[in-house]
Each structure stands twice: as structure tokens, then as C-alpha cells.
């Protein structure tokens, strides 16, 4: 099994905004991913990391999208 990259504990950038969207404008995670982050496996977290970085997240300031 390939080694997973070393990542921060969470993609959170303390710019939480899901008021009008299902996706946080700061980190790019869905509301469900944020809520379940602590119980996701390392592989599941890596899948989220790959998706959000491909989409240009996490973003400081959060509103540039």
C-alpha cells in the first residue's frame, strides 16, 4: 500500500462559511465532511484532500471564489 502524504490535521483555515452553500468557502469540504472529519479514515481524508486541492482549496480569506 502506498504511503499517504503528510498533511495538516484538517484543511480548516478558520474561514467557515456554509450559510448559502453546501461547501465551505474556506476549506472546500462539504458540511458532512466537516462534521465527520474526526471519524474519517486516513484514506477517506486523503480523498477529500485530493479533491479540495484540485479545486483550489483551502483558501485563506475564503471569499475569493
Question: In the predicted model, is pLDDT for residue 10 greater than 80?
Answer: yes
Q: 40, 10 in Cβ contact below 8 A?
A: no
Residue 38 has pLDDT above 90, yes or no: yes
Residues 12-36: tens digit of each pLDDT? 998 887 777 789 989 999 999 999 9
Three state DSSP letters for the chain: CCCCCCCCCCCCCCCCCCCCCCECCCCCCEHHHHHHHHHCCHHHHHHHHHHHHHCCCCCCCCCCC
- Where are the chain's structural domains? 16-60
Close Cβ partners of 41 (under 8 Å, ≥ 6 residues apart): none
Amino acid at each position: 500500500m502506498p504511503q499517504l502524504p503528510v498533511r495538516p490535521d484538517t484543511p480548516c483555515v478558520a474561514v467557515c462559511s456554509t450559510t448559502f452553500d453546501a461547501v465551505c468557502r474556506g476549506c472546500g469540504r462539504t458540511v458532512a465532511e466537516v462534521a465527520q472529519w474526526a471519524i474519517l479514515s486516513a484514506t477517506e481524508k486523503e480523498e477529500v484532500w485530493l479533491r479540495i486541492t484540485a479545486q483550489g482549496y483551502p483558501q485563506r480569506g475564503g471569499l475569493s471564489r
